[in-house]
Structure 1
Amino acid sequence: MNAEDWITHLDMAAHPEGGYYKQSFVSPEKISLAAHSAERNLYTSIYFLLRSQDISHFHRLKSDELWYFHAGHAVTVHILDAEGNYRAEKLGLDIAVGERPQVLVEKGSIFGSTVEAEDSFSLVGCMVSPGFDFADFELLLQAELLELYPNQGKIIKKLAYEKIPGTLSDR
């Protein structure tokens, strides 16, 4: 199957950070934490598809996000931690070249993703705990990130929006 087949069969929609998504699970259990403005589901999960011509732009969540590889080519998850240290995690199944089938993005980290293989895609699952809510989602601009982390200019210019497009919708 190609990317468009997955998008169609999973009834995916465009995501504001880039790529395509479809919510797959929502925990019926709720949790309240000081870091969140209101009660959240214990966890939520989505399918997320990124094509090689797409970029998942730099964003930040108030919850941990665990990524699982499903299909296609490896995806690189680019992460800036709270101190501004950069690391690239390869999510895929080729363990011999350093890919891993699961990658954790810690809450508060700034992250985005890319598919490096030309004319390809990656289908992953993303589980967020406490559950995802757009109230806890922040897209970040190049100017603010360059001011905070001037040593990370190359990756910031590649993955951060200069101007945030459109409006956000629930996932």
Structure 2
Amino acid sequence: MNNLEGLIQQHQLKRHPEGGWYRELHRSTALVQRPDAAKRPGLTAILFLLPKDEISCWHRVVGADEAWIHIDGADLNLFQCKPDGSGLQETSLNRNNPLHVVPGGCWQAARCDGSYALVSCCVGPGFDFADFEMLRQQLESKRPVLPHPELI
């Protein structure tokens, strides 16, 4: 068993639709109501493992901010664009810069600079797959043009 397989087993991770591996660690029992009237847990938190040869494809969480927190491993390169695809920001998460928050509705993607990156992702109001969109699942005619097409 290699180190990556060991981490997956140790943390009981499963495949994430955007790429990588995850496990939910926390889901608040307290519900909050968003401005669009949707009710969600106040906060959710996951562990997310991104191996070297995988990407976290362009995706977004509508109606909730997502905080990425570096825990272990190599640098994680995080990409972010506004909902219309403009304003590319690139952030490297590591022990010297462990936290970055992606505002709700913004597109985001990630890749790892080494063998793996282990992060926590906290979403508030809490994550629900009903609010999750992957760019590659949208009709091409409706997709915003985002940089780094290799991340689709």
Normalised by the size of structure 1, how large is the TM-score?
Answer: 0.80
User: How big is the alpha-carbon RMSD for the aligned residues of Structure 1 and Structure 2?
Assistant: 1.8
- Of Structure 1 and Structure 2, which has the larger fraction of its residues in helix? 1
1:39-58 → structure 2 map (5 Å cutoff): 39-58=39-58
Question: Judging changes above 3 Å, is the alpha-carbon distance between structure 1 residues 3 and 66 closer, same or farther for their aligned structure 2 residues?
Answer: same
In 2: Cα distance, 1:135 partner to 1:82 partner: 17
Matched residue, 2:20? 19
| Structure 2 counterpart of 1:105 | 102
Letter in 1 for 2:109: G
- Gaps in structure 2 of 5+ consecutive residues: none
Look up the match of 2:94: 92
Identity %: 31
Give distance in 1, aligned partners of 2:83 and 2:135.
14
Which consecutive residues of structure 1, in runs of 5 or more, have no partner in the other structure? 161-171
TM-score using structure 2 length:
0.89
Separation of aligned partners in 2, 1:136 and 1:55:
20
Please tell me whether residue 148 in structure 1 is matched to residue 144 in structure 2: yes
Secondary structure of residue in 1 paired with 2:72: strand
Aligned-partner residue type, residue 30 of structure 1: L
Counterpart-to-counterpart distance in 2, 1:158 and 1:82: 19
Tell me the distance in 2 between the aligned counterparts of 1:35 and 1:74: 36
Alpha-carbon separation, structure 2, partners of 1:15 and 1:79: 19
Give 1:144 shift.
4.8
The amino acid across from 1:80 in the alignment is C
Greater percentage in strand: 2
Question: What is the distance in 2 between the residues matched to 1:89 and 1:114?
Answer: 11
Letter in 2 for 1:101: P
Misfit runs of 4+, over 3 Å: 142-145
Name 1:131's counterpart in structure 2. 126
Residue 124 of structure 1: how far off its partner (Å): 0.3
